[in-house]
Copies of this chain bind each other. A is one copy, B any other.
Amino acid sequence: LDTAVNTPSADTERPERRSRRKQARPGELLAAALDLFVEKGFAATRAEEVAQRAGVSKGTLFLYFPTKEDLFKAVVRENIAGKVNEGFDELYKFTGPTAELLPFMMHLWWERFGSTKASGITKLMMSEATNFPELTEFYYNEVIEPNHRLIQGMIQRGIDSGEFREVDMHYAIYAISAPLIHLVTWKHSMGCCVGYKQQIDPERYITVQAEMVVQGLLRRTTV
């Protein structure tokens, strides 16, 4: 459902106890690894702990993922599948004004991604990017770039409809993405350590940022 862990190989055999379980192994390991990597970071996560949480032995873990780095890569690759497409669907489906589209999409993003465990990999990638350059490139191509196109689509929609003014599109995108990324990054770093008073309320945060960016983009009616 949320972060549906799919076994790489298609599930062809009937739902028979033994083999289902067998097939489920890598998925369980990836789920456990996601949890722990998000929770403690790459370096601080011990392989044994991952195996334990997945209910298998250490040996089994290395049976599926020959290296801790491979495990990490798999975790990231696994958890970034096609979220963007959902976004494009919503964009195309939306009929109201773009000034309403933006808040709607941003809140939706929170609901479907930001608030889920999967958002932890956003922070993970920030932290480990330089240690996994080719993974980072993959992440850029598969996640960042598509999302930028989605955001660009949203903004362009406003410009095309005459709602928004012309902007330096390449950089205007960040007015939407930066606050969102900052939100989940905060949530998985500072947010864990500061007191109740310093917490950010995501809904309110997004509401304000969305309002700001809409105001920032809107064509000045008179002037």
Q: Kindly provide the distance from the CB of A66 to the nearest chain B CB, expressed in whole angstroms.
A: 14
Assuming A178-B179, A208-B175, A212-B172, is B127 touching A193 (CB within 8 A)?
A: no
Assuming A41-B43, A178-B178, A182-B182, is B208 touching A167 (CB within 8 A)?
A: yes
Interface residue from B126, B145, B179 paired with A126 (Cβ < 8 Å): B126
A171 near B136: Cβ-Cβ < 8 Å: no
A208 near B172: Cβ-Cβ < 8 Å: yes
Interface residue from B130, B145, B175, B204 paired with A189 (Cβ < 8 Å): B130
A63 close to chain B: CB less than 8 A: no
A interface residues, tally (CB under 8 Å): 58
A125 near B189: Cβ-Cβ < 8 Å: yes
Q: Quick one: copies of this chain in the complex?
A: 4
A205 near B140: Cβ-Cβ < 8 Å: no
Q: Which residues of B contact A139 (CB under 8 A)?
A: 190
Encode contact with B along A39-61: 1 for CB under 8 Å, 0 otherwise.
11101100000000000000000
A192 close to chain B: CB less than 8 A: yes
Binds B, one of A14-22, A71-79, A84-92, A213-221: A213-221
A24 close to chain B: CB less than 8 A: no
Encode contact with B along A139-181: 1 for CB under 8 Å, 0 otherwise.
1100011000000000000000000000110011011011101
A22 to B183, CA, bound (A): 44
Q: Which residues of B contact A198 (CB under 8 A)?
A: 140, 145
A185 close to chain B: CB less than 8 A: yes
Binding site for B on A (CB under 8 A): 39-41, 43-44, 123, 125-131, 133, 136-137, 139-140, 144-145, 167-168, 171-172, 174-175, 177-179, 181-183, 185, 188-190, 192-194, 198, 200, 204-205, 207-209, 211-218, 220-223
Q: List 26 A-B contacts (CB under 8 A).
A: A39-B130, A41-B43, A41-B130, A41-B131, A125-B190, A126-B190, A129-B192, A130-B189, A136-B193, A139-B190, A167-B212, A168-B204, A171-B200, A171-B204, A171-B207, A171-B208, A172-B212, A174-B182, A174-B205, A175-B208, A178-B179, A212-B212, A212-B216, A215-B217, A215-B218, A216-B216
